[in-house]
Amino acid sequence: MKRIMTLACRDCRFFNGDPASIEAEFPGLKSLSSAYSSVRADAGICNLRELFVSPSRGCKDFERTAEFHAG
Amino acid sequence: MANNEMEKSPAMGWKELYLKEDWWAIYLGIGIVFISLIAFLNGSSIVKALTINPGGLKWSSFDQLSDHFGKNINLYALQLVSWLVIFGISTRIMGIKTSEFVPSFIILYVLSIIMFAIGGWVDAAKYNLEPPLVALIIGLIIANVVPLPKWMDSGFRVEYYIKTGIVLLGATFPIALIASAGPVALLQATVISLATCLTIYFVATKMFGLDRRLASVIGVGGAVCGVSASMAIASSVKAKKEHLYISVTLVVVWALVMIFFIPFVSKLLNLNPGVAGAWVGTSEFADAAGFAAATAYGKMAGNENAAIQGFTLMKVIGRDMWIGIWSFIFAMISCLKWEKEECGVKPSAMEIWWRFPKFVIGFFVASLLMTGITAGYAAADFNKIVKPGLILPIVSLRTWAFIFCFLSIGLTTRFRELKSAGWKPFGAFTIGVLINVALGFLLSDFVFGSYWMNLGK
């Protein structure tokens, strides 16, 4: 079901929430934790600003993903 | 931009139920408990047979060891296949490549048997060859000497194994103990978490002038649950990737130091194992590392149960469960104070649930379930029938899960790959560690020692 929500990082093309990519990006992360854990929720990397962000956040550089356009 | 309203894809929602290892740990742990119970009630010994390991052999010659494997090769093969099926299918659904997981897990399994065999040597205790520490050291040596290919990490799932082990631990953890010692654990955890986090935060920002986002990431990482907490807070405060790199390095290095430091200092001080377990739970940074330290000291002190109980109460119940609240508080601070202009959606209180370490639910369910099932047995019947037929097989499977975890910590820790943390973050974190360790010892041994000493009886 689709919901009306504010634009957020989740639908930005610079956002990467893939757990395998996150574990590869941060050496040592999987030694004592995991990107597949509930604690991470669906946080990910902003490849534009080099941030680790919650997908519900946003910024003025937002650019939509292809999937977002496809609706 | 950020205020426009449009249709967009929903959050993870129900997908979490099959994409997160916390839920899989619950399914596997509770599933194993049910299968064990059914086997127990039907008089079947299949689960008991599948818990085989050479850890209790007390062997003194290689002939004895090879004789054991020769006689039980079929059981070991069946055991390997069972682990491969349950972990292989679940990791596949989470998105981990089976073609990478299977060969990696087989190597992990073989190494685990070697760890059990070392622990089963008649003189192992004499030389402090505790399986958790041996597994960790051998894993570290292999990972840092042999250039293991990256794909092998697919089978070294530290968190998945420890969470599965913790759910299984719940099945042997009396719910009455949680009710009686839980409040003490919460009080001690609150004191230590606040003291550590505030120390690191203020030293980092006021003394060293570090970015407040970095200070909050390393502060909560040191105070609550290490790398997992760092990830949660980093995303709440929109931290730079560099901040998370730094926190991961600091936590991994200090957690490894503490795995050895606390057990051996506890031994020097001849601490009660329940007290030492609580100290580990107060001052270790990660569940996996803490279980290694608590299990090792429990074995040294001759009461593994007490050390594990103390650790679990302090770390899992006292500290881990509250990460969502920490995360929500920092998200609010970040959104309302630090980055008002680019907040996006205002943080929701649901964050507390989203980030809740769900495997803890499995721990409670397993505890309630087994407490209810075994409540009708008299003490003598419990010790004669239930313990060997139901409890010990579950304990043995838990030990397997823990050994997979301890080896995986070592096998995934490649020091050359860790990013440099810098002296200022290292200094701030280290001051927090010193406060944490000293305060943790005082609280565990002097202030609340009378509670922790009663564990494991």
- How much helix, strand and coil, in percent to the nearest 5, is found in chain B? 80, 0, 20
Which pLDDT score is estimated for A56? 83
Residues of chain B with pLDDT under 50: 1-9
Residues from chain A contacting residue B228 (CB–CB below 8 Å)? 32-34, 37, 39-40
The terminus-to-terminus CA distance of chain A in angstroms comes to 12
Q: Does the residue B11 lie in any domain?
A: no
Residues from chain A contacting residue B248 (CB–CB below 8 Å)? 26-29
Q: Does the residue B333 lie in any domain?
A: yes
Give the model confidence (pLDDT) of A3-17 as tens digits. 444 578 888 999 999
Give me B231's structure tokens: 């990830």
Which pLDDT score is estimated for B350? 85
Which pLDDT score is estimated for B344? 63
Contacts of A61 (CB under 8 A, 6+ apart): A14, A48, A49
Which pLDDT score is estimated for B14? 87
Q: Does the residue B121 lie in any domain?
A: yes
Count interface pairs A-B at CB distance under 8 A: 209
- pLDDT above 50: residue A32: yes
Structure confidence at residue A70 as a pLDDT band (50, 70, 90): low
Which pLDDT score is estimated for A64? 79
| Pick among A38, A49, A57, A67 to test the B interface (most B CBs inside 10 A) | A38
**How far does the CA of residue B384 sit from the closest CA of chain A (Å)?**
38
Range of the domain at B294: 18-452
Is residue B345 within 8 A of residue A5, CB to CB? The reply is yes
Give me B207's structure tokens: 């003394």
Of B6, B160, B356, Cβ closest to residue A34? B160
Task: Tally the domains of chain B.
Answer: 1
* Crossing angle of helices B175-202 and B359-374, rounded to 10°: 160
Residues from chain B contacting residue A44 (CB–CB below 8 Å)? 235
Instruction: Let me know the angle formed at the C-alpha of B265 by B264 and B268, rounded to the nearest 5 degrees.
Output: 90
Is residue B336 within 8 A of residue B319, CB to CB? The reply is no
Is residue B165 within 8 A of residue B87, CB to CB? The reply is no
- Residue B114: is it exposed, middle or buried by C-beta count within 10 angstroms (0-12/13-18/19+)? middle
**pTM given for the model:** 0.93
Distance CA B248, CA B259 (A): 16
Please count the other Cβ atoms lying within 10 Å of the Cβ belonging to residue B44: 14
In B, minimum Cα distance to A53 occurs at B235
The ipTM (two decimal places) reads 0.92
Q: Give the dihedral of Cα atoms B452, B225, B214, B143; nearest 10 deg.
A: 120
Give me B6's structure tokens: 């449009």
Q: How far is CA B64 from CA B8, B61, B67, B329, B358, in A?
A: 64, 6, 5, 58, 43
**How far does the CA of residue A22 sit from the closest CA of chain B (Å)?**
10
Between A62 and B222, whose confidence is greater?
B222
Residues from chain A contacting residue B242 (CB–CB below 8 Å)? 50
**How far does the CA of residue A17 sit from the closest CA of chain B (Å)?**
11
Give me B419's structure tokens: 């990013």
Whole-number average pLDDT of chain A: 84
**How far does the CA of residue A24 sit from the closest CA of chain B (Å)?**
9
Q: Smallest Cα–Cα separation from B219: which of B330, B61, B83, B107?
A: B330
- pLDDT above 90: residue A66: no
B453-457 contact pairs (CB < 8 A, 24+): B453/B272, B453/B274, B453/B275, B454/B274, B455/B177, B455/B181, B455/B273, B455/B274, B455/B277, B455/B305, B455/B306, B455/B309, B455/B310, B455/B313, B456/B273, B456/B274, B456/B303, B456/B305, B456/B306, B456/B307, B456/B309, B457/B306
Which pLDDT score is estimated for B10? 52
Distance CA B184, CA A33 (A): 27
Q: Does the residue B419 lie in any domain?
A: yes
- Interchain contact, A60 vs B2, CB within 8 Å: yes
| Pick among A13, A33, A65 to test the B interface (most B CBs inside 10 A) | A33
Name residue B342's amino acid: E
